[in-house]
Chain A
Amino acid sequence: MIGAEFMALSLPPLLIGTFAAIACALPGNFLVLRRQALIGDAISHVVLPGIVVAFLVTGRIGTWPMMLGAAGAALIAVGLIELIRRLGRVDAGAAMGVTFTAMFAGGVLLLEQSDTSSVHLDVQHALYGNLESLIWLEAAGWESLLDPVALASLPPELTRITVTLVAVVAFIRLLWRPLKISTFDEGFARAQGVPATILGLALVVTAASAAVAAFDAVGSIIVIAMFICPPAAARLMTERLEAQIWWSVAFACLSAVLGYVLAGYGPLWLGGQNSVSAAGMIATVSGMILAATALFAPHRKAS
């Protein structure tokens, strides 16, 4: 019955982890090329106040309130960063630092102030997620994949991240040319009639949605790691954007699968009894991949 156990305990987290990794890595390619990599960092910090406020407003842990709260917080953060940058004439990095630390602090304070002891909402959860707990109880084996009753009990996170991934892919596929042009030469893109500002904002919103959906399942550590590490490693492998995208998807999948397996079984191989954090392990593996490409990849040096 290894099949049944695998279907029930390992397949959903593996799929969720992989889809989350790809959904973050895809917009990450453009963020890294546009030198906006740390937008991902800022977004993943402000997700916490977003879900806390959503919880306080609705009084329960619901999927949609949390998603909306987190997305709203991400938009507010992006707006605030831009506002501080323009009004205060502060450089982008410092504006980001001011915004996300203050919003994160606000989130922690609200969390301490409100009574969340009855629900599963804490900072640790926000940071590491709980990938391991996303199990599919009804699965009895491979045949469950065709059984509508069993399929209905799949973790809702899986549906959500799948929908998000499809949306991200569609966004990049549909706006491929304008995205590519405006990433490499914004002035030329404007001259060609591409609304570069709106496109940039749309990219950030897409990244934020991916971050929010992924965060819900896997915590914010993976989100930042997947925004940056696979695209950065892919950048060192090739000089062509199309190839870079494929490399980043491959690296994201590799990190998710290898990280999950190492976290689940690595300690057992080493003689331990308990597994370690899958989210942390996935981030670590993506870092190893980046380290390897930084040392050996064909296009690691600026030409």
Chain B
Amino acid sequence: MKNDTGNKIKLGIFITAGSVLLLVAIYFIGARQHLFNRTIMITGIFKDASGLMVGNNVRFLGINVGTIDGISIMTDSTVRVDMQIEQDIQKFIKTDSKAIISSEGLMGNKAISLTPGDSGVVIKDGDSIATIKPADMDMIMAKLNTTADNASAITTDMAVITKNIRNGKGSVGKLFSDTVFADNLDKTLVNLKYATKGFGDNMEAAKHSVLLKGAFKRMKKEERQEKKEEKREMKEEKKEEKKEEKEKEEGK
């Protein structure tokens, strides 16, 4: 009989522990779904739910603050999304906050992100919130399409240009294909080389000629003065910088 009571106590502990575990699990799962917090409801009208599901998270500044309570089609082009949000967060969400559909990670679920507003007026229970159209894949693809169109137009133009060059049309084309033109150009360059060398000699001779000596000396003087002035300016700037640094340190 004594043993029997002992067994009953053990059984009691066993059953109590099991029930407590179950209640803890229910509490934590429920807490995640905001069953035990006070919540407010806000709605957002989207043009496209983009795969959003009931039970997905609502985020504010990257923190989960609520869940999606319901999704329903309003008209043929609008979707109404009801969001359940913790009452503690209500004060941070302003009337001009916006909702945008985002996703949790690369392969994750969809979620709604609320952006902070700056109107100063706090949102009320049951209010509707403005939405931003998300950059969905279709839009990106459409944009890519126009980019590709542009690229094809550019390459067509390029093809025409290269064709012209190959056929010797235009000055660049002549350069590539006209051997006479290239020959002339080559000769011109050689002439230019000699001409510049000759010019250099002439200038050297001019420096030593009596008539122009004074003028060259003046030019050199001016250059030196300019260099000196530059050095002075540099020094002054450095001094000023040092002064400013000192002032800052003193201010601290």
A, B assembled together: no
